[in-house]
Amino acid sequence: MRLSSSFFLLTLVFLFFIFPAATSCCTKLIDQTCKNSSHNDTNFSYGFCKTSLQAAPASRCANLRVLGLIAIRLLRDNATDTRCYIRELLGKKGLDPSVKMRLEDCLDMYSDGVESLTQAIKEYRDRKYFDANIQVSGAMTYASTCEDGFQEKEGLVSPLTKQNDDAMQLGAISLSIMNMQK
């Protein structure tokens, strides 16, 4: 009985001291990655980077390579969610024809973006960083072009500004992490 109590106590001590150290190490990697990336790239903020990467459960035990994969997945998730949101907006009655036309364009672009990012994930896994970079950059272009479409007509306000901005920041984080691995 005494042996099992000692073993249990030793296990608790191990978990209390070692597990937080491992988590701390991963948190430090996210912190350092976001500091370095945001310092070198003004297209995203340190806070956005850290919050985004920490939101993914897999980031708690990730190395730099896995953080890059997480960043691309977050971008793809953003594109998928934005595509669904656009469909919701298009389903509303009484939509201004100018807004509707631009939303339809954005829907096409975000659909292409989801495909590009799915391909980027495959290429990233295969360590084809140049090819993954092209796909991520393409998805960023779609988000930028979507937002720009609403600026073409005076007085028109984009209902997708936050989603497009988030896509641009997630794309910049992805590219930055890829560049750290070359």
Kindly report, residue by residue over 30-60, the tens digit of the pLDDT. 999 999 888 877 878 999 999 999 999 999 8
Domain count, the chain: 1
Give mean pLDDT, residues 17-29: 53
Got the DSSP string for the chain?
-HHHHHHHHHHHHHHHHHHHHHHHHHHHHHHHHHHHHHHH-TTS-HHHHHHHHHHSGGGGG--HHHHHHHHHHHHHHHHHHHHHHHHHHHTSTT--HHHHHHHHHHHHHHHHHHHHHHHHHHHHHTT-HHHHHHHHHHHHHHHHHHHHHHHSSTT---TTHHHHHHHHHHHHHHHHHHHHT-
* Percent of the chain residues topping a pLDDT of 70: 85
Q: The domain that contains 86 carries what CATH number?
A: 1.20.140.40
- What is the per-residue pLDDT for 26? 53
Whole-structure pTM value = 0.83
- What is the per-residue pLDDT for 6? 42
Kindly report, residue by residue over 79-130, the tens digit of the pLDDT. 999 999 999 999 999 999 999 999 999 999 999 999 999 999 999 999 999 9
Range of the domain at 25: 2-180
